[in-house]
Chains A and B, each alone.
Chain A
Protein backbone atom coordinates (compact mmCIF):
# COMPACT_ATOMS: atom_id res chain seq x y z
CA UNK A 1 0.00 0.00 0.00
CA UNK A 2 2.74 2.53 0.91
CA UNK A 3 4.79 1.54 -2.10
CA UNK A 4 1.95 1.63 -4.59
CA UNK A 5 0.61 5.18 -3.90
CA UNK A 6 3.78 7.25 -4.57
CA UNK A 7 4.20 5.35 -7.85
CA UNK A 8 0.76 6.33 -9.02
CA UNK A 9 1.44 9.98 -8.16
CA UNK A 10 4.58 9.95 -10.21
CA UNK A 11 2.89 8.45 -13.27
CA UNK A 12 -0.04 10.81 -13.15
CA UNK A 13 2.29 13.79 -12.71
CA UNK A 14 4.49 12.75 -15.55
CA UNK A 15 1.48 12.19 -17.79
CA UNK A 16 -0.04 15.52 -16.83
CA UNK A 17 3.20 17.34 -17.43
CA UNK A 18 3.60 15.72 -20.80
CA UNK A 19 0.06 16.63 -21.76
CA UNK A 20 0.72 20.23 -20.73
CA UNK A 21 3.90 20.36 -22.79
CA UNK A 22 2.08 19.02 -25.85
CA UNK A 23 -0.66 21.62 -25.51
CA UNK A 24 1.93 24.39 -25.27
CA UNK A 25 3.73 23.08 -28.34
CA UNK A 26 0.50 22.97 -30.32
CA UNK A 27 -0.28 26.57 -29.35
CA UNK A 28 3.22 27.69 -30.41
CA UNK A 29 2.84 25.93 -33.76
CA UNK A 30 -0.53 27.60 -34.34
CA UNK A 31 0.92 31.05 -33.62
CA UNK A 32 3.86 30.46 -35.91
CA UNK A 33 1.64 29.24 -38.74
CA UNK A 34 -0.41 32.42 -38.68
CA UNK A 35 0.98 34.98 -41.18
CA UNK A 36 3.19 37.73 -39.67
CA UNK A 37 1.45 41.05 -39.13
CA UNK A 38 2.26 43.83 -41.55
CA UNK A 39 4.22 46.73 -40.08
CA UNK A 40 1.91 49.76 -40.35
CA UNK A 41 3.35 52.70 -42.30
CA UNK A 42 2.59 55.70 -40.14
CA UNK A 43 2.71 58.17 -43.02
CA UNK A 44 -0.21 56.59 -44.86
CA UNK A 45 -2.65 56.60 -41.96
CA UNK A 46 -4.13 60.04 -41.28
CA UNK A 47 -4.92 60.39 -37.59
CA UNK A 48 -8.64 60.77 -36.99
CA UNK A 49 -8.32 64.18 -35.37
CA UNK A 50 -7.46 65.76 -38.72
CA UNK A 51 -10.69 64.71 -40.42
CA UNK A 52 -12.74 67.00 -38.20
CA UNK A 53 -14.94 69.35 -40.14
CA UNK A 54 -14.07 72.45 -38.12
CA UNK A 55 -10.53 72.10 -39.40
CA UNK A 56 -11.47 73.08 -42.91
CA UNK A 57 -10.26 76.56 -43.83
CA UNK A 58 -12.89 79.07 -44.82
CA UNK A 59 -11.56 81.34 -47.54
CA UNK A 60 -13.43 83.41 -50.13
CA UNK A 61 -13.67 81.69 -53.55
CA UNK A 62 -11.18 82.74 -56.24
CA UNK A 63 -12.18 85.48 -58.65
CA UNK A 64 -12.08 85.03 -62.40
CA UNK A 65 -9.08 87.37 -62.76
CA UNK A 66 -7.18 85.39 -60.16
CA UNK A 67 -7.68 82.07 -61.96
CA UNK A 68 -6.72 83.69 -65.26
CA UNK A 69 -3.56 85.13 -63.73
CA UNK A 70 -2.63 81.73 -62.31
CA UNK A 71 -3.09 79.90 -65.57
CA UNK A 72 -1.02 82.44 -67.50
CA UNK A 73 1.72 82.32 -64.85
CA UNK A 74 1.91 78.52 -65.10
CA UNK A 75 2.30 78.78 -68.88
CA UNK A 76 5.11 81.32 -68.50
CA UNK A 77 6.78 79.05 -65.97
CA UNK A 78 6.55 76.12 -68.39
CA UNK A 79 8.38 78.11 -71.06
CA UNK A 80 10.99 79.35 -68.60
CA UNK A 81 11.76 75.85 -67.37
CA UNK A 82 11.96 74.51 -70.92
CA UNK A 83 14.53 77.15 -71.90
CA UNK A 84 16.53 76.45 -68.75
CA UNK A 85 16.52 72.72 -69.41
CA UNK A 86 17.64 73.16 -73.03
CA UNK A 87 20.47 75.47 -71.97
CA UNK A 88 21.67 72.92 -69.41
CA UNK A 89 21.56 70.18 -72.02
CA UNK A 90 23.58 72.25 -74.43
CA UNK A 91 26.17 73.06 -71.78
CA UNK A 92 26.60 69.38 -70.95
CA UNK A 93 26.93 68.55 -74.64
CA UNK A 94 29.76 71.08 -75.12
CA UNK A 95 31.46 69.70 -72.00
CA UNK A 96 31.40 66.18 -73.37
CA UNK A 97 32.56 67.31 -76.81
CA UNK A 98 35.48 69.25 -75.37
CA UNK A 99 36.56 66.22 -73.38
CA UNK A 100 36.32 63.91 -76.39
CA UNK A 101 38.42 66.31 -78.43
CA UNK A 102 41.06 66.45 -75.69
CA UNK A 103 41.21 62.67 -75.46
CA UNK A 104 41.51 62.36 -79.24
CA UNK A 105 44.49 64.73 -79.28
CA UNK A 106 46.05 62.90 -76.36
CA UNK A 107 45.75 59.61 -78.21
CA UNK A 108 47.60 61.11 -81.14
CA UNK A 109 50.35 62.13 -78.78
CA UNK A 110 51.03 59.00 -76.79
CA UNK A 111 49.09 55.78 -76.28
CA UNK A 112 50.21 55.17 -72.70
CA UNK A 113 49.17 58.60 -71.52
CA UNK A 114 45.82 58.04 -73.16
CA UNK A 115 45.39 54.71 -71.38
CA UNK A 116 46.29 56.34 -68.08
CA UNK A 117 43.73 59.07 -68.75
CA UNK A 118 40.78 56.82 -69.51
CA UNK A 119 41.33 54.69 -66.45
CA UNK A 120 38.60 54.91 -63.79
CA UNK A 121 39.23 57.20 -60.83
CA UNK A 122 38.36 55.15 -57.75
CA UNK A 123 38.58 57.99 -55.28
CA UNK A 124 36.05 60.18 -57.08
CA UNK A 125 32.79 58.47 -56.00
CA UNK A 126 31.04 58.63 -53.59
CA UNK A 127 31.24 62.38 -53.99
CA UNK A 128 29.89 64.41 -51.09
CA UNK A 129 29.37 68.14 -50.83
CA UNK A 130 27.44 70.42 -48.48
CA UNK A 131 24.99 72.42 -50.53
CA UNK A 132 25.04 76.25 -50.71
CA UNK A 133 23.11 78.03 -47.93
CA UNK A 134 21.22 81.30 -48.02
CA UNK A 135 23.79 83.28 -46.02
CA UNK A 136 27.51 82.62 -45.52
CA UNK A 137 28.57 81.16 -42.15
CA UNK A 138 28.76 83.74 -39.35
CA UNK A 139 32.23 83.68 -37.75
CA UNK A 140 32.09 83.13 -33.99
CA UNK A 141 28.42 82.14 -33.86
CA UNK A 142 27.41 80.10 -30.82
CA UNK A 143 24.37 77.94 -31.64
CA UNK A 144 21.80 77.47 -28.81
CA UNK A 145 22.17 74.31 -26.71
CA UNK A 146 19.65 71.51 -26.96
CA UNK A 147 19.19 67.76 -27.09
CA UNK A 148 17.42 65.87 -29.81
CA UNK A 149 15.26 62.98 -28.49
CA UNK A 150 14.09 60.55 -31.15
CA UNK A 151 10.51 59.36 -30.56
CA UNK A 152 9.93 57.29 -33.69
CA UNK A 153 8.13 54.02 -33.02
CA UNK A 154 10.06 50.91 -34.05
CA UNK A 155 8.01 47.86 -35.01
CA UNK A 156 9.35 44.28 -34.98
CA UNK A 157 7.67 41.49 -36.85
Chain B
Protein backbone atom coordinates (compact mmCIF):
# COMPACT_ATOMS: atom_id res chain seq x y z
CA UNK B 1 0.00 0.00 0.00
CA UNK B 2 3.02 2.26 -0.28
CA UNK B 3 2.44 2.71 -4.00
CA UNK B 4 0.22 5.82 -3.85
CA UNK B 5 2.50 8.88 -3.59
CA UNK B 6 1.66 10.98 -0.53
CA UNK B 7 1.25 14.71 -0.94
CA UNK B 8 3.60 15.52 1.93
CA UNK B 9 7.26 16.28 1.42
CA UNK B 10 9.55 14.86 4.09
CA UNK B 11 12.37 16.72 5.80
CA UNK B 12 14.81 15.51 8.42
CA UNK B 13 16.05 18.07 10.95
CA UNK B 14 18.77 17.70 13.55
CA UNK B 15 18.66 19.36 16.95
CA UNK B 16 22.29 19.45 18.05
CA UNK B 17 22.59 20.02 21.81
CA UNK B 18 25.75 21.08 23.65
CA UNK B 19 25.37 19.70 27.16
CA UNK B 20 26.21 21.91 30.17
CA UNK B 21 29.84 21.98 31.31
CA UNK B 22 29.35 23.40 34.80
CA UNK B 23 26.72 22.88 37.49
CA UNK B 24 23.76 25.19 37.78
CA UNK B 25 23.71 27.52 40.80
CA UNK B 26 21.77 26.15 43.79
CA UNK B 27 18.33 27.48 44.62
CA UNK B 28 17.76 29.24 47.94
CA UNK B 29 16.09 26.19 49.56
CA UNK B 30 18.84 23.91 48.30
CA UNK B 31 21.51 26.12 49.88
CA UNK B 32 19.68 26.24 53.20
CA UNK B 33 19.26 22.49 53.29
CA UNK B 34 22.91 21.94 52.36
CA UNK B 35 23.97 24.13 55.30
CA UNK B 36 21.61 22.30 57.65
CA UNK B 37 22.84 18.88 56.55
CA UNK B 38 26.44 19.98 57.15
CA UNK B 39 25.54 21.16 60.64
CA UNK B 40 23.75 17.90 61.53
CA UNK B 41 26.69 15.87 60.23
CA UNK B 42 29.07 17.88 62.37
CA UNK B 43 26.92 17.38 65.46
CA UNK B 44 26.64 13.64 65.00
CA UNK B 45 30.34 13.09 64.28
CA UNK B 46 33.23 12.24 66.56
CA UNK B 47 36.57 13.99 66.70
CA UNK B 48 39.06 12.99 64.02
CA UNK B 49 42.79 12.31 64.60
CA UNK B 50 43.74 15.74 63.27
CA UNK B 51 41.29 17.49 65.61
CA UNK B 52 42.45 15.52 68.66
CA UNK B 53 46.03 16.44 67.82
CA UNK B 54 45.03 20.11 67.56
CA UNK B 55 43.23 20.00 70.92
CA UNK B 56 46.17 18.33 72.65
CA UNK B 57 48.63 20.86 71.26
CA UNK B 58 46.44 23.74 72.39
CA UNK B 59 46.32 22.19 75.86
CA UNK B 60 50.13 21.91 75.87
CA UNK B 61 50.56 25.51 74.78
CA UNK B 62 48.19 26.72 77.47
CA UNK B 63 49.90 24.65 80.17
CA UNK B 64 53.30 25.91 79.07
CA UNK B 65 52.21 29.54 79.23
CA UNK B 66 50.64 29.10 82.68
CA UNK B 67 53.65 27.32 84.15
CA UNK B 68 55.94 30.11 82.91
CA UNK B 69 58.01 28.44 80.19
CA UNK B 70 59.26 25.21 81.70
CA UNK B 71 60.48 23.69 78.47
CA UNK B 72 62.80 20.91 79.55
CA UNK B 73 61.02 18.49 77.24
CA UNK B 74 61.61 20.25 73.96
CA UNK B 75 65.13 21.22 73.00
CA UNK B 76 65.06 24.85 71.84
CA UNK B 77 66.62 23.94 68.50
CA UNK B 78 63.91 21.45 67.52
CA UNK B 79 60.95 22.94 65.64
CA UNK B 80 57.66 21.20 66.23
CA UNK B 81 55.07 21.36 63.46
CA UNK B 82 51.69 22.06 65.02
CA UNK B 83 48.39 21.05 63.51
CA UNK B 84 47.41 24.72 63.29
CA UNK B 85 50.49 25.42 61.13
CA UNK B 86 49.51 22.64 58.78
CA UNK B 87 46.04 24.10 58.44
CA UNK B 88 47.44 27.54 57.67
CA UNK B 89 49.75 26.06 55.07
CA UNK B 90 46.83 24.31 53.33
CA UNK B 91 44.77 27.49 53.43
CA UNK B 92 47.59 29.43 51.75
CA UNK B 93 47.89 26.81 49.04
CA UNK B 94 44.16 27.00 48.30
CA UNK B 95 44.22 30.78 48.05
CA UNK B 96 47.07 30.62 45.57
CA UNK B 97 45.03 28.52 43.15
CA UNK B 98 42.79 30.42 40.74
CA UNK B 99 40.04 28.48 39.01
CA UNK B 100 38.63 29.40 35.59
CA UNK B 101 35.68 31.80 35.81
CA UNK B 102 32.17 30.38 35.57
CA UNK B 103 30.91 33.39 33.62
CA UNK B 104 33.02 33.57 30.49
CA UNK B 105 33.83 36.50 28.21
CA UNK B 106 31.33 35.26 25.66
CA UNK B 107 28.65 35.65 28.34
CA UNK B 108 29.60 39.25 28.96
CA UNK B 109 29.63 40.14 25.27
CA UNK B 110 26.49 38.11 24.59
CA UNK B 111 28.24 36.56 21.61
CA UNK B 112 25.60 34.08 20.52
CA UNK B 113 27.78 32.34 17.94
CA UNK B 114 30.25 31.13 20.53
CA UNK B 115 30.02 27.77 22.28
CA UNK B 116 31.54 29.10 25.49
CA UNK B 117 28.45 31.00 26.50
CA UNK B 118 26.07 29.86 29.26
CA UNK B 119 28.19 26.93 30.38
CA UNK B 120 25.52 25.77 32.82
CA UNK B 121 22.67 25.18 30.34
CA UNK B 122 21.95 23.34 27.09
CA UNK B 123 22.80 25.16 23.86
CA UNK B 124 20.96 24.33 20.61
CA UNK B 125 22.18 25.03 17.09
CA UNK B 126 20.06 27.29 14.85
CA UNK B 127 20.82 28.09 11.20
CA UNK B 128 19.35 30.56 8.77
CA UNK B 129 17.72 28.75 5.88
CA UNK B 130 15.76 29.81 2.84
CA UNK B 131 12.30 28.21 2.73
CA UNK B 132 10.26 29.20 -0.32
CA UNK B 133 11.16 32.86 -0.61
CA UNK B 134 11.70 33.54 3.11
CA UNK B 135 14.89 33.47 5.13
CA UNK B 136 14.09 31.82 8.44
CA UNK B 137 15.97 30.71 11.53
CA UNK B 138 15.47 26.94 11.88
CA UNK B 139 17.04 23.80 13.23
CA UNK B 140 19.21 22.54 10.36
CA UNK B 141 17.02 20.55 8.00
CA UNK B 142 17.40 18.89 4.64
CA UNK B 143 14.92 17.16 2.33
CA UNK B 144 14.61 13.41 2.49
CA UNK B 145 15.95 11.40 -0.45
CA UNK B 146 14.36 8.02 -1.28
CA UNK B 147 16.60 5.16 -0.24
CA UNK B 148 17.83 6.56 3.06
CA UNK B 149 16.35 6.40 6.55
CA UNK B 150 15.23 9.58 8.28
CA UNK B 151 18.13 9.35 10.69
CA UNK B 152 20.64 9.51 7.84
CA UNK B 153 18.72 12.51 6.49
CA UNK B 154 19.25 14.24 9.82
CA UNK B 155 22.93 13.29 9.79
CA UNK B 156 23.23 14.70 6.30
CA UNK B 157 21.60 17.93 7.50
CA UNK B 158 24.19 18.20 10.25
CA UNK B 159 27.04 17.52 7.82
CA UNK B 160 25.73 20.07 5.32
CA UNK B 161 25.87 22.86 7.83
CA UNK B 162 28.77 21.86 10.03
CA UNK B 163 31.04 19.77 7.83
CA UNK B 164 31.99 16.12 8.21
CA UNK B 165 34.20 16.35 11.27
CA UNK B 166 31.45 16.65 13.85
CA UNK B 167 31.36 14.12 16.66
CA UNK B 168 27.78 13.89 17.82
CA UNK B 169 25.93 11.07 19.52
CA UNK B 170 22.49 10.71 17.95
CA UNK B 171 19.97 9.45 20.48
CA UNK B 172 18.27 6.57 18.73
CA UNK B 173 16.68 5.86 15.38
CA UNK B 174 13.26 7.32 16.15
CA UNK B 175 12.28 10.96 15.62
CA UNK B 176 11.64 13.09 18.69
CA UNK B 177 9.06 15.46 17.27
CA UNK B 178 7.28 16.52 14.15
CA UNK B 179 6.26 19.84 12.61
CA UNK B 180 3.62 19.68 9.92
CA UNK B 181 2.78 22.65 7.76
CA UNK B 182 0.84 23.25 4.56
CA UNK B 183 2.31 25.32 1.79
CA UNK B 184 0.66 28.65 1.01
CA UNK B 185 -2.14 28.34 -1.54
CA UNK B 186 -0.02 29.77 -4.33
CA UNK B 187 2.38 26.80 -4.41
CA UNK B 188 -0.02 24.10 -3.28
CA UNK B 189 -0.81 21.41 -5.85
CA UNK B 190 -2.52 18.02 -5.75
CA UNK B 191 0.74 16.21 -5.11
CA UNK B 192 2.37 18.81 -2.94
CA UNK B 193 0.13 19.80 -0.09
CA UNK B 194 2.72 20.51 2.53
CA UNK B 195 5.77 19.30 4.37
CA UNK B 196 6.50 17.24 7.48
CA UNK B 197 9.71 18.01 9.36
CA UNK B 198 10.91 15.19 11.64
CA UNK B 199 13.27 16.26 14.43
CA UNK B 200 16.14 14.16 15.73
CA UNK B 201 18.23 14.92 18.80
CA UNK B 202 21.99 14.57 19.19
CA UNK B 203 24.54 15.45 21.86
CA UNK B 204 27.66 17.27 20.79
CA UNK B 205 30.72 15.25 21.89
CA UNK B 206 33.68 17.34 20.76
CA UNK B 207 33.98 20.77 22.28
CA UNK B 208 36.17 22.13 19.51
CA UNK B 209 34.40 23.28 16.34
CA UNK B 210 37.25 25.17 14.72
CA UNK B 211 37.40 22.62 11.91
CA UNK B 212 33.72 23.02 11.10
CA UNK B 213 33.11 24.86 7.86
CA UNK B 214 30.06 26.88 8.68
CA UNK B 215 28.64 28.27 5.51
CA UNK B 216 25.50 30.02 6.65
CA UNK B 217 24.67 32.16 9.66
CA UNK B 218 24.43 30.09 12.77
CA UNK B 219 23.62 30.61 16.44
CA UNK B 220 23.90 28.61 19.64
CA UNK B 221 20.94 29.47 21.88
CA UNK B 222 19.41 28.20 25.10
CA UNK B 223 15.82 27.00 25.37
CA UNK B 224 14.57 30.37 26.68
CA UNK B 225 16.20 32.28 23.87
CA UNK B 226 14.66 30.08 21.19
CA UNK B 227 11.54 32.25 21.32
CA UNK B 228 13.51 35.20 19.95
CA UNK B 229 14.21 33.40 16.70
CA UNK B 230 11.64 30.73 15.96
CA UNK B 231 8.07 31.18 14.80
CA UNK B 232 5.41 30.37 17.41
CA UNK B 233 3.96 27.18 15.91
CA UNK B 234 7.41 25.78 15.16
CA UNK B 235 8.58 26.82 18.61
CA UNK B 236 5.68 25.05 20.31
CA UNK B 237 6.53 21.75 18.63
CA UNK B 238 10.23 22.10 19.31
CA UNK B 239 9.76 22.97 22.98
CA UNK B 240 7.95 19.70 23.58
CA UNK B 241 11.04 17.57 23.17
CA UNK B 242 13.60 19.88 24.73
CA UNK B 243 14.28 19.38 28.43
CA UNK B 244 15.69 22.31 30.34
Contact = CB atoms under 8 A, between A and B. Distances in A.
A73 B36 contact: yes
Nearest to A104: B178
Interface of B: 1-2, 6, 8, 10, 19-23, 27, 29-30, 32-33, 36, 42-43, 45-47, 52, 99-102, 104, 116, 119-120, 149-151, 169-178, 180, 196, 198-199, 203, 237, 240-241, 243-244
A56 interface: yes
15 contacts: A55-B47, A57-B43, A77-B32, A91-B243, A95-B240, A99-B177, A102-B176, A102-B199, A103-B174, A113-B150, A118-B173, A135-B99, A136-B102, A136-B104, A138-B100
A132 B120 contact: yes
Interface string A82-93: 000000000100
Contacts of A129: 19, 203
Q: Is the interface of A mostly helix, strand, loop or mixed?
A: helix
B173 A117 contact: yes
B150 A116 contact: yes
B29 A105 contact: no
Contact of B100 (A108, A118, A136): A136
B42 to A, nearest CB: 8
Given A98-B241, A99-B176, A134 B150 contact: no
B8 A109 contact: yes
A129 B150 CA distance: 26
Interface in A71-130: 73, 76-77, 80, 91, 94-95, 97-99, 101-103, 105-106, 108-113, 116-121, 124, 127, 129
A127 B178 contact: no
B23 A133 contact: yes
A139 B176 CA distance: 36
Interface of A: 50, 54-57, 59, 70, 73, 76-77, 80, 91, 94-95, 97-99, 101-103, 105-106, 108-113, 116-121, 124, 127, 129, 132-139
A136 B119 contact: yes
A19 B151 CA distance: 79
Contacts of A138: 99-100
Nearest to A87: B244
Given A54-B52, A55-B52, A134-B99, 16 more contacts: A57-B42, A80-B27, A99-B174, A103-B174, A105-B178, A106-B175, A109-B196, A110-B6, A117-B175, A119-B173, A134-B23, A134-B102, A135-B22, A136-B102, A136-B104, A139-B100
Nearest to B45: A57
Contact of A97 (B30, B47, B150, B240): B240
Contacts of B199: 102
Given A57-B46, A117-B151, A136-B21, A102 B100 contact: no
A53 B77 CA distance: 36
Contacts of A73: 32-33, 36
Contact of B172 (A76, A80, A121): A121
A73 to B, nearest CB: 6
Contacts of A117: 149-151, 173-175
Contacts of B241: 94-95, 98-99
Across the A-B interface, the 6 shortest Cβ-Cβ residue pairs: A98-B240, A102-B178, A135-B99, A116-B149, A55-B46, A102-B175
